[in-house]
Amino acid sequence: MARVVETLHESYGDLHRVGVVAHAVGLSPSRFQHVFTRELGVPFRRYRAWCRMRAAIGVVLNGGNLTAAAHEAGFADQAHFARDFRRTFGAPATPSLAKVRGARRDGKSATAPRRPSCPAD
């Protein structure tokens, strides 16, 4: 599982389907999902989604626009990112991230890493 997590952290824009990842580690998709959840405490798909969200937010906080952030993090488009952002945080992406980026610009927040880490780092 460590190899899978490392791959998720290194290639946000190329996050494969569970079947592809399971095959790469020599497990069936259902067994892989079971082992991943047992080892990390969160289902693979949720972990992968969180990695994408963190990557996209990092791009925006470093000055990128929502479309560039969405594509770099592996979302199909900006609308997909915005929908997932709202579902995850309960607020729209544009004003929420504008406030955070503005606070960073004003020196009210620590600098975020270029490639934000996923949960359990």
Per-residue pLDDT reduced to its tens digit, 7-43:
666 665 556 678 888 888 888 999 999 999 999 999 9
The proportion of the chain whose per-residue pLDDT surpasses 90, expressed as a percent, equals 33
Q: Which domains does the chain carry?
A: 2-105 (1.10.10.60)
> 78-89 and 93-105 are packed helices; what angle lies between their axes, rounded to 10 degrees?
80
pTM exceeds 0.75? no
Q: Determine the pLDDT at residue 52.
A: 87
